[in-house]
């Protein structure tokens, strides 16, 4: 296929590109790393109050009004002021992306991939700066923020290499007298709608997966975290990505989000967020608009109600640690977080004692900007109020073991790590996604009953099983119905290239981000048969 060159970056050479390897996390107990992070926090604070534009085809624009991105630890601190885009701007952003697609789609895959590798190099150099933005904008601890940035770097590196793999000759059987081949083509304009909870990693992964395949996108960042999304967009401008390949459009989902999903020139929608919003996007995308000549693809990851099964033959110390980390890392605001501990009755009491000791030992609440804080605030006042309502529900459904309310004496949106015991398998606390630091402990009669309980929600994202019995582990492999299953370890922390991520049922379309199948969602295969001789 012919290609054009529109940038100044040198194409990648697959033969000299080092093999992919996940990024190692930084150890902030080391003085040099700690000092670097503190300097990065100071650097971000110097930019507080800056106003940021909408960018369509490289042109900076204002919206109909502005909204503030604030620090959930100290809501009076305004990190930045962002534009609320209009319907007209949303329509124009899609049209601009469509026009840009005509040239970007013909750029050589090795050149497109080179932009990602160069962005990864620069993000790696400034990783604490990107992480500091997340500490201040969404309340991540240092370690959680660094893991988010590391994952973003890994998506850039991994998808660059994946594009080279798809661009290489594909194995097809050769008919006698023919030359047969399959090539993968980009599909068009995408609406990219990332979440606030992994505001760099998922935003980067969703966007660059589409772009490296030759597509163009309209990026609508989450309204709670537009600042870190802007830093990513600015990085891609810095490395020389042509204008119009990524168009930055902040604003409300009901205005700009629905418009870009509905637009006839939109070919696909990448969405990560709640079940209800995802179902609404899927329904809206299914409506064929006048002039639309394709069925839109929807790539959706919509959350979970994740369970960890603790068998009576488990290492209970390891299980208690795994549940505590999975339930309260980043305040339980991960779609992969453990919100149900399903414990075989025989070891229930001992497990609960060990779990409470782990929570007491390391789940320390504080300002995430301070070194050593494990759990900061939840993302917003809106999120806090929703979580507190669920805690009140929990008080009617089970026994409160710890927590149960807002952290007093702090200005921000802090919620206590909360654990309820003796929750029924069908109780609201066991079925509905809370997205906060609330754990329900559920008793199971035996291991088979525990697996049945684990499977009894409408979700199917992550799950874990702790057992020393090989037969039970095999049963979990076969019958625990989730997209990402972890055995004798926590149920959070998927690594790019190692744990392709995506779930079943109402957890979404099982997109398998960070895996070998993911780029296929943004490509279409063209079979070419040429008669020879």
State the pLDDT confidence band at 1, using cuts at 50, 70 and 90. very low
Same domain, 485 and 516: no
Mean pLDDT, to the nearest integer, of 370-385? Answer: 97
Report whether 249 contacts 85 (CB < 8 A). Answer: yes
The answer to whether residue 193 is domain-embedded is yes
213, 335, 465, 491: the active-site residue? 335
77, 137, 144, 301: the active-site residue? 301
Each residue of 258-269: pLDDT tens digit? 999 999 999 999
CA 133 to chain centroid, in Å, comes to 16
pLDDT given for residue 493 in this prediction:
97
The answer to whether residue 17 is domain-embedded is no
Each residue of 292-315: pLDDT tens digit? 999 999 999 999 999 999 999 999
The answer to whether residue 6 is domain-embedded is no
Q: Per DSSP, which regions of 231-376 are E strands?
A: 246-248, 266-272, 297-301, 306-310, 338-344
Each residue of 513-533: pLDDT tens digit? 999 999 999 999 999 999 998
pLDDT given for residue 3 in this prediction:
65
Each residue of 415-455: pLDDT tens digit? 999 999 999 999 999 999 999 999 999 999 999 999 999 99
Which tokens sit at 435? 């997205």
| Average pLDDT of every residue of the chain | 97
Q: Per DSSP, which regions of 6-114 are E strands?
A: 50-51, 54-56, 59-61, 65-71, 74-84
Task: Indicate if 498 belongs to the active site.
Answer: no
The answer to whether residue 16 is domain-embedded is no
Q: How far apart are CA 77 and CA 68, in angstroms?
A: 10
Each residue of 315-362: pLDDT tens digit? 999 999 999 999 999 999 999 999 999 999 999 999 999 999 999 999
pLDDT given for residue 2 in this prediction:
55
On the question of pLDDT at 494 being above 90, the answer is yes
Same domain, 522 and 476: no
Same domain, 281 and 197: yes
3-state secondary structure of 446: coil
Same domain, 277 and 292: yes
Q: Closest Cα to residue 412, out of 67, 49, 70, 38? A: 70
* Ramachandran angles phi, psi of 74, nearest 5°: -140, 85
51, 52, 77, 92, 243 from 204: Cα distances, Å: 22, 19, 26, 23, 17
Neighbours of 49 (CB within 10 A): 11
Q: How far apart are CA 509 and CA 278, in angstroms?
A: 10
Q: Which residue has the tokens 């109402």?
A: 506
Same domain, 185 and 322: no
Same domain, 234 and 337: no
Using a pLDDT cut of 70, give the percent of the chain over it: 99
**pTM listed for this prediction:** 0.97
pLDDT given for residue 518 in this prediction:
98
Each residue of 459-476: pLDDT tens digit? 999 999 999 999 999 999
Q: What range defines the domain where residue 265 resides?
A: 31-302+511-531
DSSP per residue over 317-329, as a string? HHHHHHHHHHHHG
Mean pLDDT, to the nearest integer, of 9-22? Answer: 92
Mean pLDDT, to the nearest integer, of 129-156? Answer: 98
Same domain, 275 and 324: no
The domain total for the chain is 2
Q: Which residue has the tokens 């779990």?
A: 355
**Any idea what the CATH number is for the domain that residue 400 is in?**
3.40.309.10
Same domain, 287 and 318: no
Same domain, 120 and 213: yes
The answer to whether residue 88 is domain-embedded is yes
Sign of CA dihedral 384, 389, 392, 394: negative
**Any idea what the CATH number is for the domain that residue 164 is in?**
3.40.605.10
Eight-state DSSP code of residue 244: T
Region of poorest pLDDT, from 11-20, 43-52, 284-293, 316-325: 11-20
Comparison of pLDDT for 4 and 216, the residue scoring more? 216
On the question of pLDDT at 108 being above 80, the answer is yes
CA 154 to chain centroid, in Å, comes to 13
262, 359, 485 from 324: Cα distances, Å: 41, 6, 17
Same domain, 174 and 323: no
Same domain, 333 and 468: yes
Neighbours of 253 (CB within 10 A): 17
pLDDT given for residue 533 in this prediction:
81
Q: How far apart are CA 278 and CA 271, in angstroms?
A: 7
pLDDT given for residue 8 in this prediction:
73
Q: Closest Cα to residue 349, out of 312, 308, 323? A: 312
The answer to whether residue 52 is domain-embedded is yes
The answer to whether residue 351 is domain-embedded is yes
Task: Indicate if 338 belongs to the active site.
Answer: no
Same domain, 294 and 313: no
End-to-end Cα spacing for the chain:
22
């Amino acid at each position: 296929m012919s290609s054009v060159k529109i940038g100044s970056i040198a194409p990648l050479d697959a033969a000299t590109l080092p093999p992919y390897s996940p990024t190692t996390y930084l150890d902030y107990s080391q003085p040099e790393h700690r000092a670097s992070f503190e300097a990065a926090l100071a650097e971000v604070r110097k930019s507080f109050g800056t106003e940021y534009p909408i960018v369509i085809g490289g042109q900076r624009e204002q919206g109909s009004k502005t909204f503030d991105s604030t620090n959930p630890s100290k809501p009076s601190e305004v990190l930045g002021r962002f534009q609320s885009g209009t319907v007209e701007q949303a329509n124009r952003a899609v049209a601009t992306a469509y026009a840009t697609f005509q040239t970007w789609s013909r750029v050589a895959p090795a050149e497109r991939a080179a932009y990602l590798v160069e962005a990864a190099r620069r993000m790696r150099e400034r990783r604490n700066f990107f992480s500091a933005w997340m500490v201040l904008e969404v309340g991540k601890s240092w370690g959680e923020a660094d893991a988010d940035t590391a994952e973003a770097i890994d998506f850039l590196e991994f998808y660059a290499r994946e594009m080279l793999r798809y661009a290489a000759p594909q194995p097809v059987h050769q008919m006698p007298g023919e030359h047969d081949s399959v090539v993968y083509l980009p599909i068009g304009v995408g609406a990219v709608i990332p979440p606030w909870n992994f505001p760099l990693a998922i935003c980067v992964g969703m966007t660059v997966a589409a772009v490296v395949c030759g597509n163009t996108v309209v990026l609508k960042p989450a309204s709670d975290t537009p600042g870190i999304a802007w830093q990513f967009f600015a990085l891609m401008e810095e490395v020389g990505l042509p204008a119009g390949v990524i168009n930055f459009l902040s604003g409300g989902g009901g205005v700009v989000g629905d418009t870009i999903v509905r637009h006839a020139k939109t070919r696909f929608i990448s969405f990560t967020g709640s079940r209800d919003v995802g179902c609404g996007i899927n329904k809206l995308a299914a409506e064929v608009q006048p002039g639309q000549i394709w069925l839109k693809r929807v790539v959706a990851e919509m959350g979970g109600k994740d369970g960890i099964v603790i068998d009576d033959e488990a290492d209970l110390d390891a299980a208690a640690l795994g549940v505590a980390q999975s339930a309260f890392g980043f305040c339980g605001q991960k779609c992969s977080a453990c919100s149900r501990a399903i414990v075989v009755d025989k070891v229930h009491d001992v497990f609960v004692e060990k779990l409470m000791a782990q929570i007491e030992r390391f789940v320390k609440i504080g300002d995430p900007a301070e070194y050593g804080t494990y759990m900061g605030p939840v993302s917003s006042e809106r999120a806090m109020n929703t979580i507190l309502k669920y805690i009140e529900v929990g008080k009617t459904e089970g026994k409160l073991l710890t927590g149960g309310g807002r952290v007093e004496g702090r200005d921000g949106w802090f919620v206590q790590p909360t654990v309820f015991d003796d929750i029924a398998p069908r109780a609201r606390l066991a079925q509905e996604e809370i997205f906060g630091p609330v754990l329900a402990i559920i008793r199971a009669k035996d291991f088979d009953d525990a697996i049945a309980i684990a499977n009894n929600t409408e979700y199917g994202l992550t799950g874990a099983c702790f057992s020393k019995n090989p037969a039970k582990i095999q049963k979990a492999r076969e019958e625990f119905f989730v997209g990402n299953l972890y055995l004798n370890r926590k149920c959070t922390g998927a690594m790019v290239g190692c744990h392709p991520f995506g779930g079943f049922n109402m957890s979404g379309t099982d997109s398998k981000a960070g895996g070998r199948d993911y780029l296929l969602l943004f490509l279409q295969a063209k079979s070419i048969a040429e008669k020879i001789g």
